[in-house]
Amino acid sequence: MPQFIVKAKRLNRRTVVPEFLPDPNNIVGFVNENFTFEGEEVTDVPNPALGKWYRDKVGHFYWGGAIMEVSGVRFVSPAIARSPDLSLVTGQVNYQKLLPIIPAEWMQTNGRNIKVAVLDTGFFLAHPDLDHLKTTAIVQDLGGNNNTTDKEGHGTHIVGLLGAKSTAANGIIGLIPQTKFFLYKVIRDDVGFIDLFAQAAILDAIEKKVDIISMSFNVPSKEESSLHNAIKMALKNNIIIVASAGENDNLIQESLVYPAQFEGVVSVGEVSADFARSVQVPFNNQLDLILPFVDQKSCWINDSFGLYRNLKGSSMATALVTGVLASAMSFKNKAGNPLDDLKNILPTFVSNIFNDPTLNIVKP
């Protein structure tokens, strides 16, 4: 059977294919982004207008608009191929050394004297590579859960890319392990991301005088909403906001993703090399930066996957961009504009990562 991966942040699992949407009946749970399964396309859907549907091996159904087939698909960028292939790595991964076109002097700062807020699903700081954050990070639950536990693993993976610090043979060294982290759980367990929780976190981060806010999620929102107003307030306080805007070959979609869509937010997507070459990645008003669609190994919540897991997507790309911006900011002691500094080296990035200097993967 073909293998599929879920690209939505959250996708319902159903016992039957519905005739109309939204339909709250026959939902038996949900799966999260990057969930993979073996299955097949359903050929007898009751309403073809709803698009494709897929059935897994045990008979559960998933909407095809949030799924991508991954059987036989593999892309490893030339730059990463020169370093370990992250989808196969079992040894230590040092992200400060895996981005060859980023100036070494940026990476050597470890993000010192920078404050970064991460809004996500929770944080498993009992992980051996994140243990140091127990005493240095400020961790809060703003989702009404009365805990900061990461039940999904997403937030742990993101903070690992940024702040992990390990000497173990199989561990992770993040981009900015000496940064001061403010970690906000902004998800309601078993419900999902809610914009009011993100708003509360942003307002608290403003009070804490953070330098960068990283948001690897999307929420239903709109212009002049409470979330938008909080973001505008953060921008007025010269806080850089980085948010995920989608990944792979959906970058020409007309639908808008928030908070990445809001003016002033650094929106980050991911795309495959073949897609980038075929369409020259037409930018809509949502995208600022695009990174290659490849696996990133990082910390996990010690469930059936263990302490480490490989994931790909704009969530991971957002973390990498956040880490690079914090490194550049640390190196220049907060002088200048780190986003401009990053964009100035991206022509080399395009040439090295996609092996094609003509690609348009950054908004001027």
Q: How far apart are CA 260 and CA 265, in angstroms?
A: 6
pLDDT of 323 above 90: yes
Of the two residues 133 and 282, the one the predictor is more confident about is 133
Q: Which of 102-111, 241-250, 264-273 shows the highest mean pLDDT?
A: 102-111
**Closest CA relative to residue 122, chosen from 96, 98, 142:** 142
Of the two residues 346 and 197, the one the predictor is more confident about is 197
pLDDT of 274 above 80: no
Q: How far apart are CA 115 and CA 209, in angstroms?
A: 8
Give 85-133 pLDDT, tens digit per residue: 333 345 688 998 877 678 899 999 999 999 999 999 999 999 999 999 9
Conformation bin of residue 124: beta by default, left when phi > 0, alpha when psi is -120 to 50: beta
**Which positions are annotated as active-site residues?**
120, 154, 315
Of the two residues 229 and 284, the one the predictor is more confident about is 229
Could you give the percent of the chain with pLDDT greater than 70? Answer: 80
Of the two residues 241 and 364, the one the predictor is more confident about is 241
**Closest CA relative to residue 271, chosen from 296, 252, 251, 254:** 251
* Tally of helices (H runs) and strands (E runs) in the chain: 9, 20
- Average pLDDT of the segment spanning 241-269: 74
Q: Can you give the pTM of this predicted structure?
A: 0.74
Give 139-190 pLDDT, tens digit per residue: 999 988 999 999 989 999 999 999 999 988 889 999 999 999 999 999 988 7
For residue 5, name the pLDDT band (cuts at 50, 70, 90).
confident
pLDDT of 38 above 80: yes
pLDDT of 255 above 70: no
Q: What is the pLDDT of residue 24?
A: 78
Of the two residues 269 and 225, the one the predictor is more confident about is 225
What is the DSSP secondary-structure string of 21-55?
SS--TTEEEEEETT-EEEEEE-S--S-GGG--EEE
- Average pLDDT of the segment spanning 230-248: 89
**Closest CA relative to residue 115, chosen from 18, 188, 164, 182:** 182
pLDDT of 57 above 70: yes
C-alpha pair distances (Å), 294 with each of 93, 238, 264: 15, 31, 27
Q: What is the pLDDT of residue 247?
A: 56
Of the two residues 293 and 46, the one the predictor is more confident about is 46
Q: What is the pLDDT of residue 351?
A: 56
Give 182-214 pLDDT, tens digit per residue: 999 999 887 778 889 999 999 999 999 999 999
Contact 214, 119 (CB under 8 A): yes
- Average pLDDT of the segment spanning 301-323: 89
Q: How many CA atoms lie within 13 A of 146 on its CB side?
A: 0
For residue 268, name the pLDDT band (cuts at 50, 70, 90).
confident
Could you give the percent of the chain with pLDDT greater than 90? Answer: 42
Of the two residues 293 and 80, the one the predictor is more confident about is 293
What is residue 362's DSSP assignment? Answer: B
Q: Which of 101-105, 234-238, 255-259 shows the highest mean pLDDT?
A: 234-238
For residue 239, name the pLDDT band (cuts at 50, 70, 90).
very high
